[in-house]
Amino acid sequence: MFDFARFSPTRLGAMLAKEFIQMRRDRLTFGMILGIPLVQLVLFGYAINNDPKHLPAVLVSTSADPYSRAIVSALEMTNYYRFDHVASSAAEAEQLLASGDVAFAVTIPSDFGTRVERGDNPTILIEADATDPAAASGAISTLGTVASEALKRERGTDSLRAANQPGALNVVVHRRYNPEGISQYNVVPGLLGVILQLTMVMMTSMALTREAERGTMENLLAMPASPMEIMLGKVLPYLAIGAVQVVVVLGAAKTLFGVPFLGSFSLLLTGILIFVFALVLLGYFISTLARTQMQAMQLTFFFFLPSIMLSGFMFPFRGMPGWARAIGEFLPLTHFNRVIRAIMLKGADYAAISFEMWILIAFVTAYAGLALLRFRTTLD
Amino acid sequence: MTDDPDESVIDVTGLTKRFGNKTVVDHATLKVKRGEIVGFLGPNGSGKTTTIRMICGLLTPDEGSGTVLGFDVLTESLEIKNEVGYMTQKFSFYEDLSIAENLTFVARLYRLSPVSRYVDETLERLGLSSRRNQLAGTLSGGWKQRLALAACIMHQPKLLLLDEPTAGVDPKARREFWDEIHELAGEGLTVLVSTHYMDEAERCHRINYISYGKMIAEGTVTDVVRDSGLVTYLVHGPRLERVATELAGLPGVEQVAPFGNSLHVVGSDPKLLKRALAPLAKRPELSVEPGETSLEDVFIKFMADSTDNMAENGANNEIDA
Ligand SMILES: Nc1ncnc2c1ncn2[C@@H]1O[C@H](COP(=O)(O)OP(=O)(O)OP(=O)(O)O)[C@@H](O)[C@H]1O
Ligand SMILES: [Mg+2]
């Protein structure tokens, strides 16, 4: 009775062939599969602006002079920066920035104090992760004035004189990964995840309810297909559909919005594949819960709305309150967003995103397990 | 399984199914031997489909136990599914798949090989070879039934569970269907078939009658008719509809039904019935003679008897959806 994992390639083949034929005959759904990504891409192709605070930052500083400290505390006073990392080398900061652990790296050179005293032009370097330009813009725009004010106060000179002094503070800002702060760079890769989330989950969530409503479930269950075969037979065809959508969205990302592709393409495809697999299994899990197609639809949206709101797609993840981020961590889309932005915009390698990849794999396993547990081989 | 002709293919006792607080099948016991064709009869909503579903593992019984083809009904439903052909009451193949595609799907699920030979032979036998690419949903009702039947015997099951297989099928196809069933039974296939047709019940080796969840009669048609204890008289003559109104309601008269030029008068107490008919026999224009009780008469009596118990249970037996 518990051999739900019983498996025969022939039976899986039977399921797959049947699903592909049905998919091909369902013209409307087929049109939707291609239409939805295009429409959404155009609709959402705009930036959603925001002004998040308390962004994690790393301080690269080797000197502990009072001027450096004044600038750091003034930056923290703006509420934009939260220095929760201290690095001793530029390479270390670079690493933190690339992995997405921090949004900013503030470098105060070791000769900063001496330069201020000498009346030279002291320089500080601020590197911002601009993949999400909205998140970085507020912090960057206040930065110059705040830092100079702090420096002036520390030197005890009045602001008028200081401003005209040759030793005025020189702030160098590097917008990393997306130097022009183009919103589409951030939105379009995120949009791929959103489109996949909507269409993949919605279509697979009908997988079993459709059979139940048409009355074909009784026949299917009376024949010797195991729960595993039925599950794979139902979700694998949608992996292929997902592939088509990926091509559409990535193609549009390149041609319409000129989004850069920095990282490894095969790594990107691997990430997408795992994500789509998690989504179709989530949809299938929903279809084991829902009794009607209407319920399946509602459950799909129950997952979809938090996914676009709390995954960092619509609002910068770091700008959200703690509870919202906690929910976000339980959404595959959140992790997929991190993976795809890191690969496409930052050129991240496997080491930088392996953790997020494994979380996505955990989602695949969890959804598959839940679906098999919920699947009933009887009609009660 | 051995070839012992007396072995039970279906042997279940006390099968009970409740939906909510409604007991739909109530301690049903059913024994079917190898090679037998057993008819399963009963009014609408009496639990035939539910019983069949429990036998093939599609519903979990709330109570009861037993074996089907030697496998435990409660725990070995997968093994049972492999060797049972179940034809659902409602057409449940894929309407958006063609006839050939549906058959191919079934053949592959049962791992028949070579698939194309099984499919082609089945199409040939059905006479549907020329329409193999027609969508199953566009077939007429009767053809859908015939396709469904062909699909569920393709894997040569040892037990066929047929739920009203001939509903809406024309007489010739019905005759062919029954000929084929008898032929298959001769080769050792066991068949449990639900039906509302009396002539089909008479073509079964044995029948089981279920009334609102309870098995109330079992045996050959002759047995069931005899056990009912019903007596039937035929009244011939003019203006039978008037005679019918006169008779209705008289003590001892349980059923009055016109059949062509005669009136069937049925009752279970021979003395009372004779007394009721005595005045008619004296009229010159009418003739009253003993007749043969039909299976239908018996079933009407069963149903009349069970209306009382229906009323007791209140809304227990609404029209089946
Ligand atoms: N899934 C279910 N949930 C609730 N009630 C059900 C369910 N399935 C069947 N029933 C009820 O169980 C009773 C028996 O139904 P069943 O389909 O077994 O009758 P049947 O003898 O096959 O009738 P028919 O001759 O009309 O096909 C009916 O009253 C029906 O409403
Ligand atoms: Mg029925």
Total residue count of chain A as it appears in this document: 380
- A6 touching chain B per CB within 8 A: yes
**Is A101's pLDDT higher than 70?**
yes
**The CATH number of A55-176 is which of 2.40.50.140, 3.40.1190.20, 3.40.1710.10, 3.10.310.30?**
3.40.1710.10
Residue B128 pLDDT level (bands cut at 50, 70, 90): confident
Strands of B276-321, DSSP E: 287-291
Over residues A51-60, the mean pLDDT reads 78
- Is residue A314 within 8 A of residue A135, CB to CB? The reply is no
Domain boundaries, chain B: 8-225, 231-292
Q: What percent of chain A has pLDDT over 90?
A: 27
**A61 strand-pairing partners:** A108
**Is B269's pLDDT higher than 80?**
yes
Token couple for A367: 């959804």
Look at the block and give the residue holding tokens 């089945």.
Answer: B122
Higher pLDDT, A316 or A303: A303
Q: How far is the CA of B47 from the centre of ligand 2 (A)?
A: 7
Distance from B136 to chain A by nearest Cα, in Å?
12
A15 interaction partners in chain B (CB closer than 8 Å): 109
pLDDT of res. A118: 79
- Is residue A165 within 8 A of residue A119, CB to CB? The reply is yes
pLDDT tens figures, A194-243: 888 888 898 899 888 999 999 999 999 999 888 999 999 999 999 888 88
Please give the span between the terminal C-alpha atoms of chain A, in angstroms, as a whole number. Answer: 16
Over residues A62-82, the mean pLDDT reads 80
Cross-chain Cβ contact B110/A21 below 8 Å? no
Residue A178 pLDDT level (bands cut at 50, 70, 90): low
Residue A271 pLDDT level (bands cut at 50, 70, 90): very high
Provide the H-helix boundaries in chain A: 9-25, 27-43, 66-77, 90-99, 112-118, 133-155, 159-164, 183-205, 207-214, 216-222, 227-255, 265-289, 293-310, 322-329, 332-346, 350-374
pLDDT tens figures, B297-318: 898 888 888 765 555 454 444 4
Look at the block and give the residue holding tokens 């709101």.
Answer: A309
- Is residue B138 within 8 A of residue B169, CB to CB? The reply is no
Q: How far is the CA of B17 from the centre of ligand 2 (A)?
A: 14
- Is residue A195 within 8 A of residue A313, CB to CB? The reply is no
* Alpha carbon nearest to ligand 1 atom 5, residue: B19
* Alpha carbon nearest to ligand 1 atom 29, residue: B45
* Alpha carbon nearest to ligand 1 atom 27, residue: B44
Q: Which of B18, B30, B49 to mutate to test the pocket of ligand 1 (most atoms within 8 A of CB)?
A: B49
Cα of B262 vs its chain's centroid, Å: 28
Most confident by average pLDDT, A6-20, A175-189, A316-330, B270-284: A6-20
User: How far apart are alpha carbons B26 and B45 in whole angstroms?
Assistant: 13
Domain boundaries, chain A: 55-176, 183-379
User: How far apart are alpha carbons A338 and A333 in whole angstroms?
Assistant: 9
Tell me which long-range contacts B170-175 makes (C-beta under 8 A, separation of at least 24).
Answer: B170/B142, B173/B142, B173/B146, B174/B200
pLDDT tens figures, B163-178: 999 988 889 889 988 9
Containing H/E element for B181? helix B171-186
**Is A158's pLDDT higher than 50?**
no
Over residues B65-89, the mean pLDDT reads 92
Over residues B220-249, the mean pLDDT reads 88
- Is residue A51 within 8 A of residue A21, CB to CB? The reply is no
The architecture CATH gives domain B8-225: 3-Layer(aba) Sandwich (3.40)
Q: Any idea of the CA torsion for A317, A318, A324, A327, to the nearest 10 degrees? A: 60
pLDDT tens figures, B272-296: 888 888 888 888 888 889 999 888 8
Q: What average pLDDT is seen over chain B?
A: 88
Number of neighbours of residue A79 by Cβ within 10 angstroms: 13
Over residues A33-46, the mean pLDDT reads 71
- A159 touching chain B per CB within 8 A: no
**B161 strand-pairing partners:** B86, B192
Smallest CA–CA distance from A378 into chain B, residue: B58
User: How far apart are alpha carbons B260 and B274 in whole angstroms?
Assistant: 22
Residue A133 pLDDT level (bands cut at 50, 70, 90): low
pLDDT of res. A333: 94
User: Which residue from A378, A13, A22, A380 is spatially nearest to A229, judged by alpha carbons?
Assistant: A13
3-state secondary structure of A61: strand
Give the lowest-confidence range in A88-92, A181-185, B225-229.
Answer: A181-185
Over residues A314-329, the mean pLDDT reads 84
pLDDT of res. A221: 93
Residue A47 pLDDT level (bands cut at 50, 70, 90): very low
- Is residue B214 within 8 A of residue B202, CB to CB? The reply is no
Cross-chain Cβ contact A25/B96 below 8 Å? yes
Q: What average pLDDT is seen over chain A?
A: 82
**B31 strand-pairing partners:** B11
**Is A4's pLDDT higher than 70?**
no
Over residues B106-131, the mean pLDDT reads 92
- The verdict on whether omega for the bond into residue A227 sits within 30 degrees of 0, i.e. cis, is no
Which atom of ligand 1 is the closest one to the Cα of B46? 21
Cross-chain Cβ contact B58/A6 below 8 Å? no
- Is residue B82 within 8 A of residue B66, CB to CB? The reply is no
Q: What top-level class would CATH report for the domain B231-292?
A: alpha beta
Q: Crossing angle for the helix pair A27-43 and A9-25, nearest 10 degrees?
A: 70
User: How far apart are alpha carbons A209 and A351 in whole angstroms?
Assistant: 41
Task: Choose among B58, B91, B105: nearest Cβ to A18.
Answer: B105
* Alpha carbon nearest to ligand 1 atom 8, residue: B50
User: How far apart are alpha carbons B26 and B15 in whole angstroms?
Assistant: 7
pLDDT tens figures, B136-166: 999 998 889 889 999 999 999 999 999 999 9
Tell me which long-range contacts B238-246 makes (C-beta under 8 A, separation of at least 24).
Answer: B238/B285, B243/B280, B243/B286, B246/B280
Residue A5 pLDDT level (bands cut at 50, 70, 90): low
Residue A346 pLDDT level (bands cut at 50, 70, 90): confident
pLDDT of res. A166: 45
User: How far apart are alpha carbons B265 and B253 in whole angstroms?
Assistant: 7
pLDDT of res. B317: 45
pLDDT of res. A51: 53
Residue B53 pLDDT level (bands cut at 50, 70, 90): very high
* Pick among B96, B104, B113, B135 to test the A interface (most A CBs inside 10 A): B96
- Is residue A131 within 8 A of residue A47, CB to CB? The reply is no
Cross-chain Cβ contact A22/B93 below 8 Å? no
Higher pLDDT, A163 or B12: B12
Smallest CA–CA distance from A217 into chain B, residue: B92
pLDDT of res. A2: 46
